[in-house]
Amino acid sequence: MNVSPQDILTHTEAGVTTITFNRVDKKNSLTAAMYATLADALDAAAHDAAVRVVVFQGDVAIFSAGNDIGDFLQQPPSTQDAPVFRFLRTIATFPKPVVAAVCGPAVGIGTTMLFHCDLVYAGDNAAFSMPFVNLGLCPEAASSLLVPQMLGYHRAAEALLLGEPFMAEAALEVGLVNRVVPPTECNAIAQAQARKLAAKPLSALIETKRLLKHGQSAAVLERINEEGASFGRMLREPAAREAFSAFMEKRRPDFSGC
């Protein structure tokens, strides 16, 4: 897998590792190689005693468009050891605080990864969407478990069955984000909050996060695996083939036979 060293930027300073999606010309869409890089960066941060907090951020105009469709079709995540699933398991079990700064569209995994972050700050231009059904697929990142817990069943069904975007203020209302700010201030606010966390005792941060997530960690990993098995199967079915063909051909999909 080839990845440009500039697609994912990692910088550590004063106890904070910042991971930046830096593929703006491709709307920060994520390739298999980028998922592997993200998982490796989280593994390194988890085992580095000097790192107390991780921050994810994108560009002021785009967080992530989700999967790079061309790369996705060439390297479909059809097994549980695919880089995307390794990244999901790593962020889901990451023991230290994770902060996210989200501006612009956050599509697919750009939204679902946020359910595994501890603090999320959004620019007022943020737009969250989980359009898995529209691609003939099912949710991932344990979102079929975590989204109903946070949004309530009916809002979760609307978000996951229709796959339509919801904006920053709606995300604030349901608790997906902690604060909505001007996009030009979002990364700085996330960094300031991360520095506050980094000044606290690491043992207390880790134990508090463990207790906050106690009782759901095993269920989250089980759901990630269950969704992954369904996701891999559905990738080979007619609905997904039609959805991706339509995307590449820039036409509306026809699911009448699916």
**What mean pLDDT value characterizes the chain?**
95
Query: What is the C-alpha to C-alpha distance for residues 97 and 206, in angstroms, rounded to an integer?
Result: 7
| Cβ neighbours of 201 (radius 10 Å) | 9
Residue 2 clears pLDDT 60, i.e. is over it:
no
pLDDT for res 73: 84
Q: If residue 84 lies in a helix (H) or strand (E), which one and from where to where?
A: helix 83-92
Residues 85-144: tens digit of each pLDDT = 999 999 999 999 999 999 999 999 999 999 999 999 999 999 999 999 999 999 999 999
Beta bridge partners of 101: 57, 121
Name the 3-class secondary structure at 138. Answer: coil
Residues 6+ apart with CB under 8 A from 119: 97, 98, 99, 100, 178, 190, 193
Residue located via tokens 């946070």: 150
Q: Which amino acid is at 107?
A: V
Residues 184-234: tens digit of each pLDDT = 999 999 999 999 999 999 999 999 999 999 989 999 999 999 999 999 899
Cβ-contact 100, 189 below 8 angstroms: no
User: 214: burial class by Cβ within 10 Å (0-12, 13-18, 19+)?
Assistant: exposed
Domain boundaries, the chain: 8-183+201-240
pLDDT for res 1: 45
Closest CA to 199 of 191, 207, 187: 191
Closest CA to 120 of 166, 220, 189: 189
User: What values do phi and psi take at 17, rounded to 5?
Assistant: -95, 120
Written out in words, the top-level CATH class of the domain with range 8-183+201-240 is alpha beta
Per-residue confidence at 3, pLDDT binned at 50, 70, 90?
low
DSSP 67: B
